[in-house]
Structure formats: C-alpha cells, structure tokens
Chain A
Amino acid sequence: MPEVPLKLTMKDFKSDQEVRWCPGCGDYAILAAVQNFMPELGIPRERITFISGIGCSSRFPYYMNTYGMHSIHGRAPAIASGLSVSRPDLSVWVVTGDGDALSIGGNHLIHALRRNVNLKILLFNNRIYGLTKGQYSPTSELGKITKSTPVGSADSPFNPISLALGAEATFVARTLDSDRKHLQSVLRAAAQHEGSAFIEIYQNCNIFNDGAFDTLKEPETREDYLIRLEHGEPITFGAQGQWSVVHPPGGFGLKVVPTESAEASDIVIHDQTISEPAYAFALSRLPEGDNRHTPIGVFRSVDRPSYDRLVTDQLTEAKAKLTAEPEAELASLLSSGDTWTIL
C-alpha cells in the first residue's frame, strides 16, 4: 500500500491507444468497469501489470495505462507467473479468453491455479473464437454450428468454473460483462485474495455469438435464471424468491427446487470458505443448457499460501545465509568440493 493516499481516477488508467474492438462488444463494458475499479486498489499505476495471451480480449493491456504485455496464445499465465514470482511487489493481472485459457493454454491455466500463483485471472468467456472469425470454442455448446462445424460441433464444452475448482483454485468467481456493479464487487474480492483468483466473465460477442447470455440479462428471464451467491446467505432466487438451492436429503450434489416445497433446513447457506472444493463444484454444476440456474458471484475463496510467498520465503531464508559479499561467496562456491593447487 502506498505511503500517501493516491488520487487516481478512471482517467488515469486509460491509455492513449484507440480501442479497436467491434462496436457493441462486451469487452468495452469490462474495460470500463476495470478502469473504473482500478483507483480503488490504491496501488500506483507503475506497480500494476496486465498480461494477456492472444484473442480479442487479449488486446486489453494496450488500453490500460499501466505496464502491460500482449504475449502469445495461451501462455499468459506462464509469463505472468514468472513476473509475479520474481516481483512480489507488483499486482499482476491476466486477461484471457475461452480459447486462449481453456484450449491452447489449458495446461498453464490449471498449473497456475494449482500452484496458487498470485495472479488475478480474468477469463472473458464468449463461447466463440472471435478474432479468427467465428469458429466454435471449448466452451461452445455441443452441436454448435459455426464456420468450422457446419453440421454442429461434436465437442462437449468445458465448464470453466468446474475446471478451475478441479485444479483446486483458491478463489473462483463468475460475473457478467453488463453488470458493472457485480463485476466490480467480484474484482474487489479477487484483489483482496492472496494467490490465484479466477474470474469467469460472461462476455457477449455481438458479431459471432450474439445473445449467448441473453437469458441472464433480459428482465423477463434473469431473475429466474441467475443465482446470485452471497456469502452467509441462503441460496434462494427468482423474482419472488420462489426458487431455492437445496442439499437433496440422502442425495448427491445440489438441486434447485421451489422454495415452498423445500424444508428450510435443506436450503443451502452459501459458504465460500469451505476448504473442500466439492461444495463449490456442486454449485458449478447447477446451470442447464439454456443458462437456467447460473450462479454468479464468489463460489470459493479459501486461504492457502501463494506460490509466490513460498518461493520468496525460501529465497529470503537462503539469502540470510550469505555471510560475505556475493562476489566472495561466489569465489567460495566455485572452489567448493575437491580442489587442488598447482604452484
């Protein structure tokens, strides 16, 4: 935290580059929400770095007036890990998409999460490849008809939240591009979390997959489709709170039932701090094909030392053993082991 309170505003986080997403793209809303949120961090701009991979969302760093790197397809979590671990003084954010993070870069994502590297990972999920003009993505629904799948895709999609939980990510959340207030509340929680924070942001691609999340946004459906998770609150939803998430007695996982038919004691009180990921995983399985019963908010937020901290602690402990100037220590390192002298 800075010594003097910073007086930064949203404007300070806008770079001089012209934003070049398609008009109407959900990315604009996310960019504005992030730029608007950044001053709240209280971190000077120079200590913030955005690292992205490849794809529409990955142009994001160019528009942030912080440090930034637009890297290569899928590798942002790896590059960001190197930066974060070597520079614990920085706040490192990763911006990625469903193809970038879950297809070509799937390996780096799960390993960053399992290590709990101190990265804030924003996954813009539009369920389509936009930059390459409309092929199906690893989050596209089975049977998706696209340029590369004219009779429908035969691939089952990933559920990004389930995947992150499977990797035992310590912070897992979902939000919507169009709901700035909610998006920022999730960013806030993520920023306060030590270790990897994984945020899936449903983002509309109005060119190649328009309306993918409409049921979660339209006033007629959203109240019955969205489940807003609040830590410590019973999980009930619907315009009149007519739906509840329950532990089915004797059953496995979680289930949505009409509130009136639910035993009050069966209604789940949301607890994001449960260390066992099975509960959050069960939540992540609630959505149905038409997005009905999609939870948003923080699924899981648990404490585990970050990889950065563990590595830094090892380094600090080792460096404390330096008894001489590094050059002198180096000389004794070189001459360690069996040596002999020729006069």
Chain B
Amino acid sequence: MSKQVRQLDRVVIRFAGDSGDGMQLTGDRFTSETAQLGNDISTLPNFPAEIRAPAGTLPGVSSFQVHFADFDILTPGDAPNVLVAMNPAALKANLPDLPRGAEIIVNTDEFTKRNLAKVGYATNPLEDGSLNGYALHPVALTSMTIKALEALEVSKKDAERAKNMFALGLLSWMYSRPSESTLDFLNRKFASRPHLAQANIAAFKAGWNFGETTEDFAVRYEVKPAQMPPGTYRNITGNVALALGVVAAGVRAKLPVFLGAYPITPASDVLHELSKHKKFGVTTVQAEDEIAAVGVALGASYGGALGVTTTSGPGVALKGETISLAVALELPLLIIDVQRAGPSTGLPTKTEQADLNMALFGRHGEAPVAVIAPNSPSDCFYAAVEAARIALKYRTPVLLLSDGYIANGSEPWRLPEISELPDLQVEFATAPNGPDGQFLPYLRDPETLARPWAVPGTPGLEHRIGGLEKADKTGDISYDPANHDFMVRTRAARIEGIPVPDVEVDDPSDNARILVLGWGSTYGPIGAACRALRARGIDIAQAHLRHLSPMPANLGAVLKSYDKVVIPEMNLGQLAHVIRARFLIDAIGYNQVRGLPFTANELETMLEEVIKSA
C-alpha cells in the first residue's frame, strides 16, 4: 500500500516523555537522520535538573524539540507541529505550546487512571473531547513494542525501555528520514550487548512498519534538502563546538591546552569532550572545586600552556579572585561561562543571559577583561578560537559567555578549512629586554600593551610576579601612588585597545528607523523575527554584538543613527544598562527570564509595536 506523500517546507517536532524515557536520545537520533538528509536544523533540548524525578510527574518531563526545513532557519521553532507524548505528564506539560491543529502522538498505554491522577487529569483527555482541536494519534507504544520483541531474548523491562525506538521508527517513517545511521548507531552503542542492539533495532523497525501499515497515518511527509553553501557539514551542539574550538586553538597556537574544571550544569559536557582529546596535548584536570579549577589553569598558563576553565555562573563567582590575579599577572586565561538561570542554584538546566554584569564588572578592584559571546551552537567554535586569540596575544583573561540554549541546542555546521583559522602562535620571551641587559617583565609591547610571556625554564629571565601592585617595567612591588594609577589605567587601556571588528547592521531596505540590538544566543530568535517583519514589508535593522568588551569602535555611531534602539535580553536589561551608560542612548529593553529562549513570534509582535509607536 503506498500512502500519500505531502511536501512540507518546515516542521517542528517535540519529543516529550519521562526523564527516564530516553527522549534526548530519540531527539538526537532524529536530528542526525535529518541532518543526513540535508535539511537545515535547529534543536532545543529541555530537561529537568533532577536526573530521575518521580516517574510520570510534571517535574519529570524531559523534551527535545527539532526544527527542520528546506531553507535556512535560525531557531528551534516557536511551536511544535507535532508532539510525541510518552505519558499524560508529557501531554499536560507541552499542550499549552501546541497550536490548534497540531498532530499529537500519544502512548496510550501510559494513560492509566493512576498516571492521569498523578498529573491532575480528572478525565482522560484522549476520551473527553478536550483534544478535539488537534490531530490525535493514539498509539499503544509500550504494548506494541513488547509484542514486537516477544520472539527475542530480552527481559520485559528491556523490551519496555525500547519504546522510544518504536516512536523514533514511526516518526522516521512519517517524515521519510533515512534510517541507516540510527541502525549503525544502535549497533555501535550496544556492541557489547548484542541482544539489546537487536531489541532496539527491532523496536525501531516495528515503529516504521506500523506507520506504513496502519490506517491511522494516512499521509507521509517530505521536507526537501535546504539550499546550503557547498561543503562538508555535521550537526553540532554549542558545548561540543566550544571544546573543539579550544582544541583547534591549541593546535593553531602550537601550545598545550590545560583545562581545569569542576562539574557543573550545563558546562560539564565541555569537560567531557575535551577529556577525549589528549592526543592533541590537551590535559584535563577535574579539580576539587571551582577555585582550584581556575587555579590550575592559571598555573599552566604561567608555565606556557593555554590555560582554560569551564563553568557556569556560580562557578564564575567563585573564580573571581583568581581571575583578578590573572588580570594583575597579565597572563592568558580563557574562562568559559555556560550561563544558566540564577541567582544561586536557580534553574540549572534552563537558559539565561544574566551573567553579563558579572563578566564585565564582577571582580574586586579595577579588573577589566575581554568578554565575547557566541551567537549560535556552531559559532561557539569560532568564539572559542577568537577568545583564545585575544587571551594569547594580549596576555589577558577572556570570558566567553555561552548559555544553556546554545550549549545543548544544535545546528548544522559547515566544517572550516584548518588553514582558514587564525594563526595563534605566540613568542615567548627568550632574552633580557632591558637597557642594561636585565629582564623587565612588565615592559610592554607598544602596540598591544602586552607584557612578555617569560615562562619558567627560560635561562636568564628568572623573575617574580604576584598579586601585589607592580612597578611599571620592572614588576617589582610598588606602593607608589602614581605608579598604581598608571598601572590601573594601563590595564584598562590594554583591554580597551584590543581591535575588534566593527558591528555590522543587517538592514536589506536601508530604510529602517528602528534597530534591534542583541548579544549572544538571542541572535536566532531576533533574526527570525526580523525576517518575518520584513516579509510583511516592515523595515527593521538588526545588529548583534559578539564582543562585549571591548565593544566595536563603530557601535556608538551605529546606535545613534537610528530613531530607536530595542535590546531584547534574557535578563532584566544588563546590556541595555551598559549601552545607556556608555552611549547615553535611551535604549528600550525587552526582557524575559523564563529559562527559555525567546520565540521569534513574541519578538516580532514586540518589535512591531515599537515600530508602530515610533
């Protein structure tokens, strides 16, 4: 029986279930199949902080949203067209995000009286008519999976656990996804337990065949490959991109990389990834605490390595004193902050951009550092390379601000040629630089204001550095008032003088009077909102900041050339505050701290209102 095939240009699917149901893996596999097909993709995992919250409850719901299209897309999608709900909790938690008419695939086996009661359903929503506005597909996922695996030698528990693969098989059929990579993946993942590989593959195939045969799914969909620039692509999350960027920086600098890290959500994956790449001369130390993590990184930088530490907001707070020491020592140091919702433990698995103030100002004394923020998962790679470049060349700590949204979200990445990456090689000091043959550790390069990097082991350059204020040039301890004033201003000038690219404005009409300015991970939703407005004939200009410190030299002039500047941020207006203070511009903030990225739709509505009132 051949079924009707309908062409779509874009689809948003959300897989939702209990945190033990394997929804992240299911989403990941679907994404990988979709990438193979050449669609553009953007993904958004969303999971609770608890590893296994009580089964079947609302706090235990974990989801993975994937948006794929035959054109280039900027976000994981505002609202799903399809919801896969593995239990009543998943349905209840995700239904509010679904537009009317969306397809819902539910695992009916889990809609028991007890499970319904657990999430406060008085009646069964599959039967009470409350889902009449949606295209509901009730599927007995669990029992069909168990039945499909009857002939195999697997326990009932293992069979039941394979139900996510049944769901994946069904969705893969519905959207005409190639299945080879998933079958390969399952064989690899369960290489040591072939009976589980067999069971999961059987479940996947059962799901696929169910789609093909059942009357309930009358239509199959296709989404054609997107027109993307030629090249080799892979799908990548922000955290993996950061790690690969750090490895690349080490290779391009011809320096060993030394990572000190303490496990923290959502940054731990950067540690995990980097710990796999020792052959590139990458050492990873899981330190006893956040302070030690930055301490070992700084110690390694002192010894001539690229010292890196990865963490999230609470960790940056603990590292503050050591970062200030690195400011005083004028040594390279890369601090990666994968931001999460705060304060305190906050919402550890949810995203936020509220560490900007801390990155810019959160240290004692006048302690300026460079701050850079990637704007998408794949951009994390280039941001890490750029941050390392600044750290090495200007001998300064650099704070990189990623966040939970792009850390765990993914998109296709066109692989760069290694030779296109900047050359990060540095020269260590090898000989005395003073007029009388002495070594002056704080004699600066007149252009960069960087001091010599004289690593232990270099004969003739023995010297002492430390946190006490140093005399200009000699680096000796100095309590001289004029010297302190000079050194504070010089450290500030060194950061302020780092050349960063001008900010570019995207305004196809060249007529826009309103500029929307963002930084970091909001690039996607802001860009999608601007596109939607322009498609409706409304002019809007978009600019996005990658360098937060120092800021692009043209920024003030750009901002002043528009009637209004709107700054959406996932905080209460931290960039807006800086822009107001620095450029005396009455920027309009649009702020949300819901632990979730902006939707393009809400930004479009907000911007339209600003434009109307202008």
Contact = CB atoms under 8 A, between A and B. Distances in A.
B600 interface: no
A75 B296 CA distance: 9
A142 interface: no
A334 B468 contact: no
Interface string B559-583: 0000000000000000000000000
B279 A318 contact: yes
B304 A330 contact: no
Interface stretch (B45-53, B91-99, B334-342, B451-459): B451-459
B153 interface: no
Interface string B271-289: 0000001111101010111
A311 to B, nearest CB: 6
A333 B292 CA distance: 29
Contact of B465 (A17, A70, A314): A70
Contact of A46 (B278, B285, B287, B457): B457
Contact of B234 (A65, A71, A86, A337): A337
Interface string A80-91: 111111110110
Contacts of B418: 327-328, 330-331, 334
B467 A87 contact: no
B285 A319 contact: no
A82 B228 contact: no
A90 to B, nearest CB: 6
B299 A72 contact: no
A67 interface: yes
A64 B321 CA distance: 25
Interface in A63-80: 64-72, 75, 78-80
Given A46-B460, A339-B234, A83 B288 contact: no
A273 B446 CA distance: 56
Nearest to B235: A338
A72 B294 CA distance: 12
A47 B456 contact: yes
A165 interface: no
A160 B97 CA distance: 60
Contact of A87 (B285, B295, B297, B303): B303
A311 B289 contact: no
A107 interface: yes
A343 to B, nearest CB: 6
A252 interface: no
Contact of B231 (A75, A79, A87, A341): A341
Interface string B509-521: 0000000000000
A49 interface: yes
A70 B307 contact: no
A17 B304 contact: no
Interface stretch (B32-40, B205-213, B354-362, B548-556): B32-40
Contacts of A338: 32, 35-36, 181, 234-235
Given A315-B283, A339-B233, A339-B234, A89 B462 contact: no
Contact of B291 (A66, A75, A89): A75
B143 interface: no
A21 to B, nearest CB: 14
Given A78-B292, A82-B260, A83-B300, A329 B279 contact: yes
A51 interface: yes
B70 to A, nearest CB: 13
A334 B464 CA distance: 40
Interface in A28-68: 44-47, 49, 51, 54, 61-62, 64-68
A219 interface: no
For A84, A111, A342, which residue has the most chain B Cβ atoms within 10 angstroms?
Answer: A342
A15 B464 contact: yes
B405 interface: no
Contact of B251 (A87, A311, A327, A342): A327
A342 to B, nearest CB: 5
B584 interface: no
A82 B307 contact: yes
B38 to A, nearest CB: 6
Nearest to B257: A86
A82 B457 contact: no
Interface in B219-271: 225, 228-235, 244, 247-248, 251, 256, 258, 260
B505 interface: no
A147 to B, nearest CB: 24
B329 A69 contact: yes
B303 A72 contact: no
Contacts of A343: 230
A78 B233 contact: no
A1 interface: no
Given A82-B307, A86-B300, A341-B231, A17 B295 contact: no
A322 interface: yes
Contacts of A111: 287-288, 292
A43 B235 CA distance: 51
A79 B234 CA distance: 38
A108 interface: yes
For A61, A89, A328, A337, which residue has the most chain B Cβ atoms within 10 angstroms?
Answer: A337
Given A67-B456, A331-B418, A340-B35, A82 B231 contact: no
Interface string B456-489: 1111111111111000000011000000000000
Interface in B304-321: 304-305, 307, 321
A335 interface: yes
Interface string B163-188: 00000000000000000010000000
A338 B28 CA distance: 12
For A75, A330, A340, A341, which residue has the most chain B Cβ atoms within 10 angstroms?
Answer: A340
A10 to B, nearest CB: 15
A311 B287 CA distance: 13
Contacts of B329: 69
A49 B456 contact: yes
A70 to B, nearest CB: 3
A7 interface: no
A78 B247 contact: no
B466 A311 contact: no
A298 B181 CA distance: 61
Contact of B292 (A108, A326, A328): A108
A196 to B, nearest CB: 14
B415 interface: yes
A82 B251 contact: no
Contacts of A337: 234
B125 to A, nearest CB: 37
A319 B278 contact: yes
Contacts of A87: 303-304, 456-457
A142 B461 CA distance: 46
B442 interface: no
Contacts of A49: 456
A65 B322 CA distance: 25
B298 interface: yes
A89 B322 CA distance: 25
B295 A108 contact: yes
A62 B464 contact: yes
A14 B304 CA distance: 25
B251 A326 contact: yes
Contacts of B303: 82-83, 86-87, 90
A4 to B, nearest CB: 13
Interface string B36-78: 1010000000000000000000000000000000000000000
Contacts of A47: 456-457
Given A72-B321, A80-B299, 14 more contacts: A15-B464, A64-B464, A70-B464, A71-B466, A71-B467, A79-B295, A86-B303, A86-B304, A86-B305, A322-B280, A331-B417, A340-B234, A341-B231, A342-B231
22 contacts: A62-B464, A66-B462, A71-B466, A71-B467, A72-B322, A75-B292, A75-B295, A79-B299, A81-B292, A82-B299, A83-B302, A83-B303, A85-B285, A86-B283, A107-B289, A319-B279, A329-B280, A330-B248, A330-B251, A331-B415, A334-B244, A342-B38
Q: Which 5 A-B pairs have the closest CB atoms?
A: A82-B299, A70-B466, A78-B295, A82-B296, A318-B278
